[in-house]
Structure 1
């Protein structure tokens, strides 16, 4: 996965090709029983984790669910929706709890022979101070007071300084990876449906999720079946969402 720096001046696809891929992605609600090859799943996951993420701490994990009995148990957890009958479901999890191991991993997996001193310092000193909220959030409370004082004189990064902000921090990066994952499957000819309609309490029991993991979606994947897309695409006018400054 670690590769030399790419030539950023070379576009790998045209704007028209990218538009066609994005426009072709729809939330598909009905799937055939055709399985998704493991090679395709692995390739798409490799593309998912190329998503940009905060401080390169990669606060995500994925559970790939293909076993028929487990898929059957997930169906009522997803309130019986048709998309949950897909031959593949991937639980996309935000992991605000993995930052400490990730700091060590950055140094261990650094793609060059020598780890720059600034990198070592950041992941051994700066990042732990920034992301460690302490037992019951006591460090976060202290840091919130500190940034109020320091922020009077200069601009600085003010979050995350609480457990709630850590959750938001992880969810934002994981959502970027999830979009990569959906587009990757689309490029292989497989449809997806990001499901947020599930019973989280029951989901945690069925999948035995780590306590601090945050399930942000269950991604159904497969070949589209009949009447796979329920409605025409609807998006509000761009002018409602964009302000030109």
Structure 2
């Protein structure tokens, strides 16, 4: 199905097929040298961009590395992990804290309905510029935090982001959701992936030419799993210790 098609009805969604995708997704440590077809990779990346994200500001970028020379350098920056060395595609998944202004403008310009609701226009032109802007030296963030603490004494209020660090957390949360979409899309197409956090951030940023305020959340190795690509059986902690019904 084209990723831009309309939403499916519940009766059109096969939960068992989805279960197969989720349960068969593993972090693959060794890949074959089979390439991922361009149309498949493009579809997976498009599905990644359909991930839920804060205010639809889509604070992410994907740096797709396929050339052998750059892949080798990037694999070295990823500490020569087997997944990085053997994958035919490496994708730098980057969170952006500095694109929200432009994306707020795009959100209005690309509104998909005939009529733009006033509340939407107000949000992107008046509320978002206050909510996400931290001001020179972070002073606006400090002022917002102080006001939030005072107003929060009497009623619920949004708590942050109030600093550059909190903006990184904000962008990373949405970007991680997109990364999961990408990994599941690859698995649905019969391919696999391995999200890697072990890398030299300075070298990765330089190799990918990541913007100054971009945050490399992970480097994703992608391809067809090799027979020895899974190192052990999957296990998870007891759900009862992690899930709380209140």
Q: Aligning the two structures, in what range does the TM-score lie when normalised by the shorter sequence?
A: over 0.9
Question: Aligned partners of 2:18, 2:12: CA distance in 1, in Å?
Answer: 10
**Which blocks of at least 5 consecutive residues in structure 1 are unaligned?**
none
- Within a 5 Å distance, the mapping from 1:7-86 to structure 2 comes to 9-85=9-85, 86=87
| 1:4 CA drift (Å) | 8.1
Q: Counterpart of 2:121?
A: 120
| Matched position secondary structure for 2:10 | coil
Question: Aligned partners of 1:161, 1:142: CA distance in 2, in Å?
Answer: 9
TM-score of the aligned structures, taking structure 1 as reference length: 0.95
Pair 1:127–1:2, CA change in 2 (3 A): farther
Question: Aligned partners of 1:146, 1:3: CA distance in 2, in Å?
Answer: 41
2:96 is aligned with 1:98: no
Question: Aligned partners of 1:56, 1:225: CA distance in 2, in Å?
Answer: 37
- Report if the CA contact (8 A) 2:29-2:230 is conserved: yes
Q: Counterpart of 1:141?
A: 142
| Matched position secondary structure for 1:62 | strand
- Report if the CA contact (8 A) 2:59-2:100 is conserved: yes
Q: Deviations over 1:160-209 (max 9, x none)?
A: 11111111000001111100000000011111011111000111111111
| 1:11 CA drift (Å) | 4.2
Q: Counterpart of 1:237?
A: 238
**Which blocks of at least 5 consecutive residues in structure 2 are unaligned?**
none
Runs of 4+ in 1 over 3 A off after TM superposition: 1-7
| 1:113 CA drift (Å) | 2.4
| 1:5 CA drift (Å) | 6.2
Question: Aligned partners of 1:35, 1:11: CA distance in 2, in Å?
Answer: 35
Q: Counterpart of 2:179?
A: 178
Q: Deviations over 1:111-165 (max 9, x none)?
A: 1223221111100000110000012211100101111111122111111111111
Pair 1:3–1:70, CA change in 2 (3 A): closer
- Report if the CA contact (8 A) 1:4-1:111 is conserved: no
